Structure 1
Amino acid sequence: MPGFSRSDDSPFGRWWRSVDRTTLICAFILIGFGYILMLAASPAVAVRIGASRNMFILKQVMFLTVAGTIMTGVSMLSRRTVLRLAMVCGALMLGATLLTLVHGIEIKGARRWIALPLMSLQPSEFLKPCFAVVTGWLLTQRRLSRYLPGMLIAFVLYGIILMLLKSQPDIGMLTVVTLVFLIQLFVDGLSLALVGVGVALIIAAGISAFFLFHHVRSRVERFLHPDVGDHYQIDTALRAFGNGGLAGRGPGEGRVKDLLPDAHADFVFAVAGEEYGMIVCMLIILVFSVIIIRTLLRLIREDNAFVVIAVTGLISGFGFQAFVNMASTLHLIPTKGMTLPFISYGGSSAMSIALALGMVLALTRHQPGDRANFGSPLLTPRTQGRTP
């Protein structure tokens, strides 16, 4: 094809030759699964709440279309522009997360959303990728500049996000951000002893959350004691997997979407298991695994410290979110309301995941024009090679 020829020096041609096409294709496969499973799961949920049968489908088509556009557009950016985008978007979403505490929509006792036309925005979703990129730069800068205390600023930024998420409260999001930050610190060279201290602090924070937050204690107790409390949702999800078997009951033949209020969101993996069977569920897991493993393998050949730390954080957050959704649906861990990337219903989730994967694709592209490590004048135009 002429557009993909090595002689094509257009911006698109250079992008296509340098981008990780396998990861890009896998991401669009997940978007395709999102369309299919929304057709299967959402009409029954919409009818049950008295809305138009196609409401969730039409909105999710729009969300996923925008998400695909965001991912592709961001993947074409230079590494410098990705960092600038992360800084600007992160600052805006940090302010918006603070705004949720005052003017946010309260749902099930948590204030995490801001009402917008056609959708509710959850700003903290966008904090995850922006925080990973900015933290990657800060940790790199502490070795390149004596005047920028990158490690200290990174910890202050994490502390601000911690307090905001705790106040909403959003313990699940806080856990993801904490794990991403700890993994980035480890990749940056944190000693195993300090990693152990970090893990111990996470365990202590989890125990504290168990005693401080009723919904956390309820979920853990129901997980540890199957004979105590309400297990309707998880029991229904597990029966759905059993009913689906190897090949599934067939498109539209599942019952779980008629029984669970969040079948189109938190329990969409159960819909896939019942209607399409274990084969499709394993295929979904395989696609997620290819994206994660492929990205980590590309980092082995990367000599840019900023790229390694930032992308490790981005892909860790992506993988952990997918794991939590599927594992909680299968009752391997306590239930947690976390979306399955690109597959569960939700505009904020789809667009934030698209932003994260777009950043991964942009940062892992082969870009000869970028220096091996970003120095202090990162946010100013380069003058290297110019004569005064």
Structure 2
Amino acid sequence: MTTATPGAQDREGGLDRSGWLAELRRSLDRPLTSYHLIIGVSGLLLALGVAMVLSASSYDSLETYGNSYTMALRQLLWVAAGVPLAFLATRLPLRLLRACTYPMMIVAFVLLALTFTPLGVEVSGNRNWLSFGGPFMLQPSEAAKLALVLWGADVLARKEKLLEQWKHLVVPFVPGSALVLALVLGQRDLGTSLVLFSLVLVLLFVVGMPLRFFGIFVAGVGLLVTYLAVTSSVRMNRLTSFLDPFADYRNTGWQAAHSLFGLGTGGWWGVGIGNSREKWGWLPEAHTDFIYAVIGEELGLVGTLIVLGLFLTLAYVGIRVALRTRDTFTRLATAGIVGWLTAQALVNMGAVLGLLPITGIPLPLVSYGGSAMLPTLFALGLLVSFARNEPGARAALAERAASRAAARARSTKGRSKEG
């Protein structure tokens, strides 16, 4: 019998590790990796979202509508409407998409402005909803995120050769973005304002804004946000209560405290899907803004880390697509979409974990709601379209289609001979 020396074992382990890393590198270098990852991650988040909405909304749905499945069925309808919209986005010609950016921005302005009319509805202290009668309500700020990303990418791409002059870098993108932010801040929706600000920063950073202007811009918006926070008792309570939710447990700290209760109860593996206790009237907004807490309670730390990993994977793929493309509009639009979804996910998770103040924004693809679902799925469809145009991806898809056509032709020929 022969025994391997420790050095030989280390070398074998090194070979195994290097082989594993080489295989991972080869997988990531395949031309369709980005394409498959975007579809796979989006599908997993959608499936998890429907399952968790079914679980988290069961009590509220029963109390409100007399049926535990009403909200889950509505979420399924939004997904069913959003998937064809995402497919349409994958087939939308780039020229047509860019031609639609200004109309999209105008529509976003109009819808945001309508919230200040009698059509506007106040929910949880924010006047950020429109009601057109009946059960149908719309949150215009969700569509405004998509419109701002695409409009900003188009404007900056058209001015690409002039961006060394600060006036072309700033006008009209910064005034247009400021108007959108002003309308959303007027609705008292600080959480959405932070997400919009994040995607504006991403676009300016990717396009190469000088650091001195970048710093001035960040400082100016930071002072504005601070002023808005300290001049509103509701916002100030939200900003301070997250530091110690148990100091005012029965008032401002209730939601944050019960979020932590749910996460703590879940442990490593959770109490099992459908078995959350906090969703039974204890945790407000369990199926929307705080669905991540229900995931932590029912699926445990492992479940929350998987969700975090899926969003980080989406961010990685977006950065990969942006770095590989030669088209400026595609690069900026990809970066903006990834900045929007990643920032929103991290702000939502941070609030649920008690690391950030509660801002009242949903977890993309997972939280209940159609106003956020449709723009998000359209944006992900655009990412799939951009990934299809990566170097080698289009050729690989064409080769795959040709192989399938040849296989079908052989199968048809074989059946005709048998006949």
Q: Normalising TM by the smaller chain, what interval?
A: 0.7 to 0.9
Residues 251-292 of structure 1: CA deviation (Å, up to 9, x unaligned): 221101111231111111111111111112111111111111
* C-alpha distance in structure 2 between counterparts of 1:38 and 1:263, whole Å: 9
Match of 2:154 in 1: 137
Q: Which residue, out of 232, 253, 259, partners 1:237?
A: 259
* C-alpha distance in structure 2 between counterparts of 1:364 and 1:121, whole Å: 30
> Which deviates more from structure 2 when the two are superposed, residues 306-315 or residues 46-55?
46-55
Residues 74-101 of structure 1: CA deviation (Å, up to 9, x unaligned): 1221222222333333321221111111
Cα offset, 1:18, TM superposition: 10
Q: Which residue, out of 224, 230, 252, partners 1:211?
A: 230
5 Å-filtered alignment, 1:296-315, equals: 296-315=319-338
203 and 160 in structure 1: CA distance in 2 versus 1, 3 angstrom threshold:
closer
RMSD value, Cα: 2.2
Secondary structure of 1:112's counterpart equals strand
44 and 169 in structure 1: CA distance in 2 versus 1, 3 angstrom threshold:
same
Cα offset, 1:60, TM superposition: 0.7
Dislocated runs of 4+, deviation >6 Å: 16-19
Secondary structure of 1:335's counterpart equals coil
Q: Which residue, out of 311, 315, 321, partners 1:288?
A: 311
Cα offset, 1:337, TM superposition: 0.6
Match of 1:180 in 2: 199
* C-alpha distance in structure 1 between counterparts of 2:390 and 2:208, whole Å: 25
Q: Which residue, out of 355, 358, 365, partners 1:335?
A: 358
| 1:133–1:311 CA contact under 8 A, matched in 2 | no
For 1:182, the aligned partner's letter is L
Secondary structure of 1:131's counterpart equals helix
RCO higher in 1 or 2 (8 Å CA, sep ≥ 6)?
Answer: 1
Cα offset, 1:227, TM superposition: 5.0
Match of 1:373 in 2: none
Match of 1:107 in 2: 123
Residues 330-358 of structure 1: CA deviation (Å, up to 9, x unaligned): 10111111101111001101112112212
Secondary structure of 2:57's counterpart equals helix
* C-alpha distance in structure 2 between counterparts of 1:235 and 1:171, whole Å: 21
| 1:251–1:275 CA contact under 8 A, matched in 2 | yes
Normalised to the residue count of structure 2, the TM-score between the two structures is 0.79
Cα offset, 1:206, TM superposition: 2.1
Match of 2:382 in 1: 359
For 1:108, the aligned partner's letter is S
Match of 2:81 in 1: 66
* C-alpha distance in structure 1 between counterparts of 2:47 and 2:246, whole Å: 38
> Which deviates more from structure 2 when the two are superposed, residues 159-168 or residues 324-333?
159-168
Residues 91-148 of structure 1: CA deviation (Å, up to 9, x unaligned): 21221111111021122332211124553111110111111111111112223579x9
Normalised to the residue count of structure 1, the TM-score between the two structures is 0.85
145 and 332 in structure 1: CA distance in 2 versus 1, 3 angstrom threshold:
closer
| 1:111–1:169 CA contact under 8 A, matched in 2 | yes
* C-alpha distance in structure 2 between counterparts of 1:50 and 1:36, whole Å: 19
For 2:89, the aligned partner's letter is V
Secondary structure of 1:106's counterpart equals strand
* C-alpha distance in structure 2 between counterparts of 1:112 and 1:136, whole Å: 25
Secondary structure of 1:49's counterpart equals helix
Match of 1:380 in 2: none
5+ residue gaps, structure 1, are 1-15, 369-388
Q: Which residue, out of 26, 40, 56, partners 2:71?
A: 56
Match of 1:128 in 2: 145
Larger radius of gyration: 2
265 and 226 in structure 1: CA distance in 2 versus 1, 3 angstrom threshold:
closer
Secondary structure of 2:355's counterpart equals coil
Q: Identity over the aligned pairs, expressed in percent?
A: 26
Q: Which residue, out of 58, 66, 71, partners 1:43?
A: 58
* Number of equivalences: 352
Secondary structure of 2:171's counterpart equals helix
Q: Which residue, out of 40, 44, 54, partners 1:25?
A: 40
185 and 67 in structure 1: CA distance in 2 versus 1, 3 angstrom threshold:
same
Secondary structure of 1:105's counterpart equals strand
